[in-house]
Structure 1
Amino acid sequence: MIININDNDVGIDNISALIQKLSFIFKYEGMNVSGYEFKITSSKLDAMSALVIFKAFDFIAKKSCLKEPKVNLDNIIKLFSIYGIEKSMKQLINQEELDDLYRNLKPSKTADFFIAPHPINRDSFKNKKDLENKYTQFIADYYQNICPELIQYFKTCICEIASNFLHHALEDKHSILMAQGNKNKIEIVCVDNSKGIISNLDPDNKNHAEVMSSAFKRGVSSKKNDFHCGTGLWYIENIAHQLKGTFKVYSEDMSYVCKDGKVFVTKSPYWKGSIFYLKLNVLKNTNIDDFFSKFNKDNILGLFNL
């Protein structure tokens, strides 16, 4: 069986097609099915598609889904090299241990853009301050002369997404948060293969669209007895709205897309775990500070509590 992944299957607007092509692996957990070949022939990879493919191969190796699947390795290494995870991807394909490479992921930048991969597990950071010291300060420095007034919002989104994955992905030690950006935008992506939003929030509710929608409301949290007040995803969505950005979440069999001030909650091909994508535009003269000032003043956001 040949799994072809081409330009029509990658990109922010095609992520459902990519999930559809990869979702079969979750049915093969522990089965070591032979005879599969992956041909990834896309001319380039966005960060979201790269991490989805990376986590698919991580699941295949970790859960013994496929036996020695064939791949066009040279093209895959070339595509993944821009994100600094090509060595980890090669070891996943060869079903080798990658903990050392994973721990040593490092950000890089050029004059025009930056790429910043970071592992998400409790071996990598213990709290907000640790994350800021190791990761978000690099991004803050990049934007210091571009949009200093937006840096705190960027950092908050990164910390909230990292916190969400860190809390729920206890069984997945190879999640990666990827931030990339330039003078016009920042994109943040994180993917895991742990329990998804539906299973964490309300596993007995058969109306998955209702559960998915509720996850983005203020006051809703699956982090029981951890002093979380359920504002993180709501906060991220509103930052995206204020900065005319995009916030996409795929989890289990549902997707939640916030774009151009509109929200779409729809069925999605199955993905074990969650996929987060956030794009924030660098805008001048926004009213974002005014919008959030009343929440910050009353100290009711309750953001980032590991």
Structure 2
Amino acid sequence: MNLINRIIIAPKHFRANSIIDFINDCQDIYRLSNKNENGFLLDLGKVKECTMIGVLLIYKIIEFSIKNNCFNMPRYIIDLPFQEAMEKYGFTKLILTYLADKDVAEKEFANLKISVSDNFIIAPQALLRNDKYSSELLNKKYLPQIQQYYSFNDKAVTMIFLCFSEILLNFWEHAVDDTQSIIVANGNKSNIEIACVDNGKGVLTTLKLAGKEQKDNLSTLISAVKKGVTSKDLSNHMGYGLWIIDQIAAKTLGRFHLYSEGCYYFREFGKVKSGKCGHWQGTIVYLSIPLGKPVTLADIETPDDNNNLQIKWI
């Protein structure tokens, strides 16, 4: 019988407010690349409820640990509630394939499917480093379905597309070392969630490399949501992306979470909180916004500022 030396138990109710607990439990994995440690167990059997962000985080920790040979013959316990969550959000085949054969999973990565019903839309999309492929796929197959689902509210569509664009620009800027990232949208007629998680260079690392480091890591992360802060000064990245997401969350009284390399920044229902947490290699972006009173750039910026913004879908 294999001895259990290290165990991670997923939260019973794995929602956005459980992210810090999960990160705290997982942080040591990033120090185990190519260690092939024995006796690892990921216990998903205690999960009673798992939302979109929970499934995405579990996928990323499984993908990282397997791809980087962190464990030798790791064990996984998966019961019905998490199985149902994987199925709901379109991750069943991808996660199970990774657990069985990571080489096959590499091919399965690009085959995530959008699911649309009368009550909600689930839209997982692989983010590939082929710009032409990503742009064409997202513009022709991905975004039109979201637009059609929310066709009753043109301003909401504009806001949703703006959020997608800025989250993806952040991904392209920071996650240069991660080839297995996914953006997921989960929405109904009154609310939409968007999340993107990577294990590449995090916001903190890229800002430090660009000489934008503040007095400490937390101050550096907080600076990332300020207007004009970018790690690519000599490019068309103007440093508005995370600031726009933060402003949209503020004006809609929504939720915006940003985690990177041991720090977090929250804006929730009009209140801001920041602090330190376990280390997550890369960046976690989570956004949940109500659609009753959508906002656009015109609601955020003054007319003069708007003339200087050149934000467009990739």
Global fold match (TM > 0.5): yes
Matched, 1:263 2:257: no
Secondary structure of the structure 1 residue equivalent to 2:178: coil
- 3-state SS of 1:112 partner: coil
- Once the two structures are superposed, residues 117-175 of structure 1 have per-residue CA deviations (whole angstroms, 9 ceiling, x without a partner) of 00112237557565322322211111002x22221111011111112112322221110
Question: CA offset at residue 296 of structure 1?
Answer: 7.6
Post-superposition offset of 1:100: 2.2
When residues 288 and 173 of structure 1 are mapped into structure 2, their CA distance, relative to the original with a 3 A threshold, is: closer
Tell whether the 8 Å contact from 1:114 to 1:181 is kept in structure 2 after alignment.
yes
Task: Tell me what 1:280 maps to.
Answer: 289
What is the distance in 2 between the residues matched to 1:181 and 1:287? 17
> What's the CA shift for 1:95?
4.2
- Of residues 12, 17, 20, the one that matches 2:21 is 17
**Is 1:193–1:272's contact at 8 Å kept on the other side of the alignment?**
yes
Aligned to 1:68: 73
Q: Identity rate of aligned residues, in percent?
A: 30
Aligned residue type for 1:113: F
Alignment map for 1:47-58 (pairs within 5 Å) = 47-58=52-63
Q: Which moved more, 1:176-185 or 1:216-225?
A: 216-225
**Unaligned regions of 5+ residues in structure 1, if any?**
none
User: Deviation per CA, 1:245-292, whole angstroms, max 9, x where unpaired?
Assistant: 1100111111010122222121111100011100110114x6656523
Could you say if the C-alpha distance between residues 142 and 78 of structure 1 is closer, same or farther in structure 2, counting changes exceeding 3 Å? Answer: same
Matched, 1:148 2:148: no
Q: How does 1:18-167 map to 2 (within 5 A)?
A: 18-40=22-44, 41-73=46-78, 75=80, 76-97=82-103, 98-123=105-130, 125=132, 131-145=138-152, 147-167=153-173
Q: Counterpart of 1:202 in 2: which secondary structure?
A: helix
C-alpha distance 295-88 of structure 1, shift in aligned 2 (>3 A): farther
Paired with 2:36 and 2:215, the residues of 1 have a C-alpha distance of 31
| Amino acid paired to 2:179 | K
The one-character-per-residue Cα deviations of 1:71-124 (angstroms, maximum 9, x if unpaired) are 124544433111111111012222422122111111011110010000112237
Taking the aligned partners of 1:153 and 1:133, their CA distance within structure 2 comes to 19
The CA distance in 1 between the partners of 2:117 and 2:191, in whole Å, is: 15
Deviation >6 Å, runs of 4+: none
- What is the distance in 1 between the residues matched to 2:101 and 2:214? 37
> What's the Cα RMSD here?
2.2
Distance 1:199 1:304 in 2: 26
The 1:292/1:3 distance shift into structure 2, 3 A limit, reads closer
- Name the CA distance, whole Å, in 1 between partners of 2:37 and 2:163: 39
1-structure distance, mates of 2:163, 2:291:
14
TM-score, normalised to structure 2, is 0.89
Deviation string 1:30-56 (CA, Å, 9 cap, x unpaired) is 101011111112112111111111000
Q: Which residue of 2 aligns with 1:216?
A: 225
Matches of 1:229 and 1:206 in 2, distance apart? 23
Q: Distance in 2 between matches of 1:269 and 1:251?
A: 9
Contact 2:297 2:306 in 1 (8 A): no
Tell whether the 8 Å contact from 1:5 to 1:42 is kept in structure 2 after alignment: yes
Partners of 1:20 and 1:58 in 2: how far apart? 18
1:172-191 to 2 correspondences below 5 Å: 172-191=178-197
SS of equivalent residue, structure 1 residue 270 = coil
Match of 2:263 in 1: 254
Shifted more, 293-302 versus 218-227: the winner is: 293-302
Q: Does 1:302 align with 2:310?
A: yes
Q: What is the rounded CA distance, in whole Å, between the counterparts of 1:289 and 1:235 in structure 2? A: 8
Deviation string, structure 1 residues 207-264 (Cα, Å, up to 9, x no partner): 0111111111111101242122111111111111121211001111110101222221
Corresponding letter in the other structure for 2:21:
A
Q: Contact 2:200 / 2:283 at 8 angstroms: preserved in 1?
A: yes
Matched residues, number? 303
The DSSP-based 3-state class of the residue aligned with 2:24 is: helix
